[in-house]
């Protein structure tokens, strides 16, 4: 006799909000944060804030995140005021895409 499976939407929802999934999401966010800190530009001797961007990465997790607030999520952010310019660049400075590259590299290093 073949095994049968009947999905329970409530059960899947409970799984997506479970402490284990939340911990795994935070673990992955911490991995991405460490990669981002490793590949962050630090600046040269004339930089007024050398290393400030690198030291400004933070992680956070939520039990109810995502678009529908129905799953555990974790986020990596940079709190420096110029993080947007480092990530996307300006007309004078090329984009470094630190978080994009960190997410790509961190996703492979699971």
What's the pLDDT tens digit per position in 25-44?
999 999 999 999 999 988 77
HSE (CB half, 13 Å, CA atoms) of 36? 27
Other beta carbons less than 10 A from residue 22's beta carbon: 20
DSSP E strands in the chain: the ranges are 57-65, 71-78
How confident is the model over 42-86, as pLDDT tens digits?
877 777 777 889 999 999 999 998 899 999 999 999 999 989 999
Per-residue confidence band for 20, with pLDDT thresholds at 50, 70 and 90: very high
DSSP state, residue 53: T
Where exactly are the structural domains of the chain?
10-41+51-108
Q: Which two tokens stand for residue 61?
A: 């997790």
């Amino acid at each position: 006799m073949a095994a049968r499976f009947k999905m329970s939407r409530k059960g899947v929802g409970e799984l997506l909000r479970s402490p284990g999934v939340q911990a795994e999401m935070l673990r992955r966010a911490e991995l991405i944060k460490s990669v981002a800190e490793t590949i962050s530009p630090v600046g040269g001797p004339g930089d007024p804030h050398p290393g400030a961007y690198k030291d400004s990465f933070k992680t956070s997790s939520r039990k109810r995140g995502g678009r529908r607030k129905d799953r555990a999520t974790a986020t990596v952010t940079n709190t420096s005021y110029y993080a947007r310019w480092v990530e996307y660049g300006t007309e004078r400075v090329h984009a470094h895409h630190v978080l994009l590259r960190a997410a790509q590299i961190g996703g492979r290093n699971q």
